[in-house]
Amino acid sequence: MLVSLSSSSLLTFFFIMLIASGLSGLLFLHPRVPLSFVRVHIGIVALPPLISLLALANTTVEGIIGPWSLDSLAWLMAFFVLSIGLIIQRFSVHYLMGDHSYRKYFILFTFTTGVASITWLSGDLRLMVISWGATLAGLILLIRLNSGWKVANEATKVSGRLFILSWFSLLLAMIWLFNVTGEWQFSLALTNESLAQLGAWEKTGINLLIVLAVIIPAAQWPFQRWLIESIVAPTPVSAIMHAGLVNAGGIMLTRFSPLFNGDIASIILLILASISVLIGSGISLVQVDYKRQLLGSTIGQMGFMLIQCALGAYLAAIIHLILHGLFKAMLFLQAGSAVRRYEVSTHVNERPSKLWVMGGRTLGLVVGVAFWLMSPGEGYQLISALILGWSLSVSWTQLVAFGKGRIGKIAGLSFLVGSAIVYFIIHNLFYEWLHTTVYQGVQPSMSVVIIFVCLLLFGSVIGTWVTRHRSTVSFAVLYLWLVRLGEAKPKSVESHPSYLKQYLSQGGSQ
């Protein structure tokens, strides 16, 4: 495949700026460099995402250059990861001021987002595995930066063990794929001719290893413990986890979508992700700690993203992971100012009119069926129709049916219409960028559809039961189980961090 000179030059310039960012972070580590240099560092860090944005806007800058695969998905993910990293580093200039590891944070932020962007630009299986391992190592180093605190050390042990398992699972999957196809390049290993060499058991085995590799960083059940323990890390570290780290499963499965398509591994992923959605939603509802609420929400949202992948809706998963990453990172960065206001609700016992509720459900059903029949793409249209119809029904109930009086219903309807317009604009923008790059999965098998619908109905039944049986013993047991599930282990909890005494005795932070 011939690649224009502009793409090669742009890639070279991108890596020069990425290296410059790393060097500026290393320079900032030196104690003689003034703290004011951090603003220069932020300026340099802003250059790589700017170059990736230029490459994304230039549709001709695509192709394969050595071990690099320069398509729109690769440049989009590089821009996404580096942009969130830039925002978090800029936020940390004041937020982390006075921390004894102030200088180390910036080099680790730069390193982690830098190697994460290299992971998604990789067109070689070996380079992707190495870069992803470096990304996980960077995250571990960020979690354990306050190594004098035993709680942080315990969280590091939990995260490290699971991340090693995830990485080795991915490594074995890639070696297995190479042994069968004889190719290390994505573009060659995932062609129909290469995949035809895989037997049914080989394909299932590789896919199961990939599933294990992606559900651990995504904090899916039963591996959600590392994310819950990581709450001891500073808030900017929690935010940077959403820069292509916890949501990396959607990107990875999209890259391997020609291989990961319609076998038993998809069903297993669908079941585990659905359980994670229920558990994550429950944790976010019962926890009173703001960061734990966000972590529970992340578990549920990542489960929903992996459900999209299991059903072949890879484009929807990419859109979801980017928007969720931006939104959740923002919520973490404002966690310090999140003060709950206790107010008496004026409509706790109010019930919306059944006519309005049925109208919303009917509208959701009609729109979902219409979208299923009219939208292009096979695997994509089914999940999109289900999500769109269900979301419209719930949104109508909350915004319109619960609206107080005619003005309240009109306001809710206006907000719903405005949100729908924004959704379609964003959807069309991403579709234009990615429809030629992202593989569209085949129509899910009937067994997968039945499992998904049953899980959806089960979740709805559980939600309805909870709202109507809050005074029962069963509800209390479920409530306490979710509280315990969202709490760290006792040895990971310390009411009075002893490591602070050491720094105070040394005269404060460095």
Q: In whole angstroms, give the CA distance from residue 91 to residue 332.
A: 11
**pLDDT confidence of residue 477:** 79
Residue bearing tokens 């932070």 = 509
Segment 95-119, tens digit of pLDDT: 888 888 888 999 999 999 999 999 9
**Which of 171, 190, 170, 173 lies closest to 181 in space, CA to CA?**
190
State the maximum Cα–Cα separation within the chain, in Å, rounded to a whole number.
Answer: 71
Strands of 311-460 (E only): list them: none
Does residue 488 carry a pLDDT above 80?
Answer: no
User: What proportion of the chain, given as a percentage, has pLDDT over 90?
Assistant: 18
For the chain, helix, strand, coil in percent to 5 are 75, 0, 25
Burial pattern 394-424, b for ≥16 Cβ within 10 A else e, equals ebbbebbbbbeeeeebeebeeebeeeeeeee
Q: Give the residue with greater pLDDT, 109 vs 313.
A: 109
**pLDDT confidence of residue 261:** 72
Q: Which residues lie closer than 8 Å to 17 by C-beta, 6 or more apart?
A: 44, 47, 48, 51
Residues 85, 44 contacting (CB under 8 angstroms) = no
Segment 239-264, tens digit of pLDDT: 888 877 888 888 898 888 888 876 78
**pLDDT confidence of residue 446:** 60
- Sketch the domain layout of the chain as residue ranges: 1-121, 144-336+485-492, 354-444
> What does each C-alpha distance from 438 to 175, 312, 478 come to in angstroms?
24, 11, 40
Segment 44-64, tens digit of pLDDT: 999 999 998 888 877 555 677
Tell me the pLDDT band of 494, cut-offs 50, 70 and 90: low
Positive or negative torsion for Cα 71, 244, 220, 454? negative
For residue 68, the surrounding DSSP H or E stretch is strand 68-70
Residue by residue, what is the 3-state secondary structure of 16-39? HHHHHHHHHHHHHHCCCCCCCHHH
Q: Give the residue with greater pLDDT, 395 vs 234.
A: 234
**pLDDT confidence of residue 380:** 54
Average pLDDT, the chain: 80
Enter the DSSP assignment of 46. T
**Which of 204, 207, 208, 182 lies closest to 194 in space, CA to CA?**
182
Residue by residue, what is the 3-state secondary structure of 217-260? CCCCCCCCHHHHHHHHCCHHHHHHCCCCCCCHHHHHHHHCCCCC
Q: Give the residue with greater pLDDT, 352 vs 23.
A: 23
**Which of 112, 158, 154, 155 lies closest to 137 in space, CA to CA?**
112
Calculate mean pLDDT across residues 316-329: 85
Q: Give the residue with greater pLDDT, 455 vs 76.
A: 76
**pLDDT confidence of residue 6:** 67
Q: Which residues lie closer than 8 Å to 261 by C-beta, 6 or more apart?
A: 312, 441, 442
**Which of 182, 173, 199, 159 lies closest to 253 in space, CA to CA?**
173
For residue 68, report the phi and psi dihedrals to the nearest 5 degrees.
Answer: -105, 140
Q: In whole angstroms, give the CA distance from residue 65 to residue 250.
A: 24
Q: In whole angstroms, give the CA distance from residue 365 to residue 243.
A: 35
**Which of 439, 443, 464 lies closest to 452 in space, CA to CA?**
443
Apex 320 CA angle, 164 and 290, nearest 5 = 70
**pLDDT confidence of residue 41:** 92
Calculate mean pLDDT across residues 298-308: 88
Enter the DSSP assignment of 352. -
Residue bearing tokens 């939600």 = 463
Q: Which residues lie closer than 8 Å to 108 by C-beta, 6 or more apart?
A: 138, 141, 142, 145
